[in-house]
Amino acid sequence: MKLEKIESKIAVLPIDNIDTDQIIPARYLKSISKDGLGEGLFRDWRLNADGTPKPDFVLNKPEAKGVQILVTGDNFGCGSSREHAPWALVQSGIRAVISTSFADIFKGNALKNQLLPVVVPADAHAELLKSPWATVKIDLVAQKVTLPSGRVVEFPIDAFAKTCLVEGVDELGYMLQQEPAIAAFEAKRVGSVNTLR
Amino acid sequence: MKARTIVEKIWDSHVVAEKPGAPALLYIDLHLTHEVTSPQAFSTLRERGLKVRRPDLTIATMDHSTPTTSRDLPMLDTVGKAQLDQMEKNCKDFGIRLYDLKTTKQGIVHVIGPEQGLTQPGMTIVCGDSHTATHGAFGALAFGIGTSQVGHVFATQCLLQTPSQSYAIRVEGALKPGVSAKDIILAVIAKIGIGGGTGTVFEYQGSTIRSLSMEERMTICNMSIEGGARAGLVAPDDTTYQYISGREFAPKGADWDAAVAHWKQLPTDPGAQYAKELTLDAATLEPMVTFGTNPGMGIPINGAIPDPASVSDPIEKSDLIKALKYMDLEPGKQLKGHKIDVVFVGSCTNSRISDLRAAASVMKGRKVNPSVRMLVVPGSMQVKKQAEAEGLDKIFRDAGADFREAGCSMCLAMNGDQLEPGEYSVSTSNRNFEGRQGKGGRTFLASPLTAAASAVTGVVTDVRTLL
């Protein structure tokens, strides 16, 4: 799967520090597969105890149908390392999250699942927060976001992660190709400290 | 030669390959794994016909979905049981050592690593679990990874990584009575915020840190992730070596001497540069307690709950209003004296023998308040055995607390140990996120001393009034 351009309405969730327990509560982590996790996405913000939708939650609004971009507050994805968080987002149709910052582990997990973590400057972020349901374009190759006003801002992304997303490089395959280097490194360390025996 | 931090030294000695345009390939010395974040990684191995490259450097346990009730009872949670059964099959199929519920060494992954002597200075250690930073207490570079990366380590014993900057956190001076390691880390996080350490590794330094035991250092390193850092560590010293010496996987004989000589080279060189620095005066620290819905929302026990009216940033203000609404608390008031329903002593943060001793020292000769349910969950079966040998189990049970089998338990409420909607807990765990301890549950994070004192009185309590 390759990821180059995303054009979508934005759903705005103006909350800082959204943790992975909110993105998908721990009770959904008992699965031994990746299937069906969308059901747990923002479960306790999205649904009442009886399973009925909370009408005020952004992803329950009629406008949210088909939304692929979520705009959130600072430090999105903090907390646990659960990769179930990006799995649940992707299974619910979200392909990019725009924020001013992301927690490290979440960012890494997102990039391995074709979910784009897009960091924009504070002024661009402020414009997005004020423009719910406006259309935004993300061009991964050019690393540019076109804001609702037409203004274009750049965003940073790790060069290797970008290559993997754009060219569909299989990261594990790339690592396995380095087997000779790994074997040589291990051979050098036989009997040294930091090797359990 | 350039002065290097301990993080740079560990990094440099583990780089397998560096190619232009790609992150470094970093060798992993120890891979810890548990039932929740590994099944999909094992599936990847099967789909691609791969083996676990170094099963000898891979250690598995069951901790998150495990019941803490008697091991003789059948497990009623069929979904959780299926996950444990899958873990057993995966470890058998791929030749990995597993500490399952039948062994005397089972426990929380971050408790058993150090306990078995697996965790050693200078190592790179990973686990599909954000609290892997715990192992940094030994001067190891230890961090949490996602399930895709768990698969990468299984298959190659390596990770693609970019180096992190070092953030020096210095704590100097003597702690006041009733103030513990947990209070230090809660104070650090309250000061820098839960995103304050993003992109960095914390190196804890200073006379206060040096005076702490290994278990106390583990409590501090454990919550590095709650300050946004993926890892946190303490350079090794004699306290470290004494702790490791003689444990099952510790080097022995001539290997031990060689290991210690190597470990002594690890501490940061004088003059090495840090990207960020923070200094705290231990004498100013008080017992800490959180009032809100992230671990950065902490106050000293005699402090007041902050008022959203005094916050200028609009999102910060609305987040604080949202947190106080969820917690049903009033700004400006003290949290001290607030009624509670549950006390949880446990989790990879505070479930070691010294934590249980601290809680028991307060409980001894006292009773759990009739309005409170208290759960004491040892971090491992070895901790449980030691607690029983010291009679701590009897102190807890005589007081009216429930003393359980080892596991993560109510820290994340995957195993049936949980808060009911609306209930308040004082918990020695690491996260107070909405619903973390059970849907609708409300968590006040605190030290084992504060938790035990609050169990006795039934309200959030300054332990110093009971010492």
Do the Cβ atoms of B195 and A195 come within 8 Å?
Answer: no
Do the Cβ atoms of B160 and A160 come within 8 Å?
Answer: yes
Q: Note whether B352 and B214 are within 8 A (CB).
A: no
State residue A189's pLDDT score.
84
Q: Note whether B413 and B437 are within 8 A (CB).
A: yes
Backbone angles phi, psi at A38, to 5 degrees: -55, -30
Q: Note whether A124 and A153 are within 8 A (CB).
A: yes
CA distance A50 to B314: 32
CA distance B16 to chain A (A): 6
Chain A residues touching residue B80 (CB < 8 angstroms)? 30
Do the Cβ atoms of A33 and B39 come within 8 Å?
Answer: yes
CA distance A20 to chain B (A): 9
Nearest to B21 among A26, A160, A175 (CB): A160
Which residue in chain B has the smallest CA separation from A195? B29
Do the Cβ atoms of B130 and A79 come within 8 Å?
Answer: yes
Q: B121-140 burial, b if ≥16 CB within 10 A, otherwise e?
A: bbbbbbbbbbbbbbbbbbbb
Do the Cβ atoms of A193 and B122 come within 8 Å?
Answer: yes
Nearest to A26 among B50, B158, B413 (CB): B413
Tally C-beta pairs within 8 A across A and B: 198
Short-list A108, A18, A24, A109, CA closest to A70? A18
Mutate to test the interface with B, among A80, A158, A164, A171 (most CBs of B within 10 A): A80
pTM of the entire predicted model: 0.97
Backbone angles phi, psi at A31, to 5 degrees: -70, 145
Do the Cβ atoms of A16 and B316 come within 8 Å?
Answer: yes
Q: B250-280 burial, b if ≥16 CB within 10 A, otherwise e?
A: bbeeeebeebbebbeebbbeeebebeeebeb
Nearest to A175 among B152, B318, B319 (CB): B152
Q: Which residue has the tokens 């971050």?
A: B110
Q: What is the mean pLDDT of residues A27-55?
A: 96
Residue A130 has pLDDT above 90, yes or no: yes
Residue A3 has pLDDT above 90, yes or no: no
Q: B147 CB near a chain A CB, below 8 Å? A: yes
Beta bridge partners of A49: none
Do the Cβ atoms of A174 and B433 come within 8 Å?
Answer: no
CA distance B284 to B176: 8
Residue B213 has pLDDT above 90, yes or no: yes
Q: Residue type for B41, please?
A: A
Q: What is the mean pLDDT of residues B53-81?
A: 94
Chain B residues touching residue A19 (CB < 8 angstroms)? 294, 431, 433
CA distance B278 to chain A (A): 21
Q: What is the pLDDT of residues B45-55, one digit of tens each?
A: 999 999 999 99
Q: Note whether B228 and B197 are within 8 A (CB).
A: yes
Q: Which residue has the tokens 């569909």?
A: A168
Residue B266 has pLDDT above 60, yes or no: yes
Q: Note whether B100 and B106 are within 8 A (CB).
A: yes
CA distance A21 to chain B (A): 7
Those of residues 59-98 in B touching chain A at CB distance below 8 A are 64-65, 77, 79-80, 82-83, 86
Q: What is the mean pLDDT of residues B110-120?
A: 97
Short-list B12, B230, B44, B8, CA closest to B153? B44
State residue A192's pLDDT score.
58
State residue B1's pLDDT score.
80
CA angle A44, B343, B383 (to 5 degrees): 110
Short-list B129, B2, B23, B106, CA closest to B60? B106
Residues in chain B: 467
CA angle B281, B165, B124 (to 5 degrees): 100
- When the pLDDT of each residue in chain B is averaged and rounded to a whole number, the result is 97
Mutate to test the interface with A, among B46, B52, B160, B293 (most CBs of A within 10 A): B160
Residue A49 has pLDDT above 70, yes or no: yes
Residue A8 has pLDDT above 70, yes or no: yes
Nearest to B146 among A49, A81, A172 (CB): A81
Do the Cβ atoms of A21 and B322 come within 8 Å?
Answer: no
Chain A residues touching residue B50 (CB < 8 angstroms)? 176
Chain A residues touching residue B64 (CB < 8 angstroms)? 26, 29
CA distance B44 to B244: 35
Q: B122 CB near a chain A CB, below 8 Å? A: yes
CA distance A25 to chain B (A): 8
Instruction: Give counts: helices (H), strands (E), chain A.
Output: 8, 7
Q: Percentage of residues in chain B with pLDDT exceeding 70? A: 100
Which residue in chain A has the smallest CA separation from B155? A176
Rg (CA), chain A: 19
Q: B377 CB near a chain A CB, below 8 Å? A: no
Angstrom distances, CA of residue B312 to CA of A124, A191, B293, B319? 20, 58, 19, 12
Going by DSSP bridges, is the β-strand pair B15-17/B24-27 parallel, antiparallel, or unpaired? antiparallel
Short-list B238, B225, B442, B185, CA closest to B324? B442
Residue A66 gets the label, from left (phi > 0), alpha (psi -120 to 50) or beta, of left
Q: B422 CB near a chain A CB, below 8 Å? A: no
State residue B278's pLDDT score.
98
Q: What is the pLDDT of residues B149-183, one digit of tens each?
A: 999 999 999 999 999 999 999 999 999 999 999 99
CA distance B155 to B50: 7
Angstrom distances, CA of residue B89 to CA of B71, B73, B305? 20, 21, 49
Do the Cβ atoms of B148 and A22 come within 8 Å?
Answer: no
CA distance B215 to A53: 45
Residue A194 has pLDDT above 90, yes or no: no
Q: pLDDT band at residue A191, thresholds of 50, 70 and 90?
A: low
Short-list B195, B199, B200, CA closest to B227? B195
Residue B63 has pLDDT above 90, yes or no: yes
Start-end of H helices in B16-56: 39-48
State residue B21's pLDDT score.
87
Backbone angles phi, psi at B232, to 5 degrees: -150, 145
Nearest to B156 among A16, A75, A175 (CB): A175
Do the Cβ atoms of A196 and B129 come within 8 Å?
Answer: no
Q: Note whether B359 and B452 are within 8 A (CB).
A: yes
Q: Which two tokens stand for residue B47?
A: 């789909």
Q: Which two tokens stand for residue B465?
A: 């009034």
Q: What is the pLDDT of residues B399-435, one digit of tens each?
A: 999 999 999 999 999 999 999 999 999 999 999 999 9
Q: What interface predicted TM-score (ipTM) does this complex get?
A: 0.96
Q: Reduced to 3 states, what is the DSSP secondary structure of residue B293? A: coil
Strands (E), chain A: 5-13, 69-72, 96-99, 116-119, 135-139, 144-146, 152-154
State residue B183's pLDDT score.
98
Residue A193 has pLDDT above 90, yes or no: no
Short-list A155, A157, A154, A176, CA closest to A166? A157
Q: What is the DSSP letter of A150?
A: S
CA distance A16 to B346: 28
- Which string of DSSP letters, residue by residue, matches A86-123? HHHHHHTT--EEEES-B-HHHHHHHHTTT-EEEE--HH
Q: Note whether B415 and B80 are within 8 A (CB).
A: yes
State residue B170's pLDDT score.
98
State residue A195's pLDDT score.
54
Q: Residue type for A91, please?
A: Q
Going by DSSP bridges, is the β-strand pair B200-205/B165-172 parallel, antiparallel, or unpaired? parallel
Short-list B263, B9, B247, B279, CA closest to B113? B247
Do the Cβ atoms of A171 and B120 come within 8 Å?
Answer: no
Those of residues 182-211 in B touching chain A at CB distance below 8 A are 194-195, 198-199
Work out the number of other CB atoms within 10 angstroms of the CB of residue B208.
23
State residue A1's pLDDT score.
60
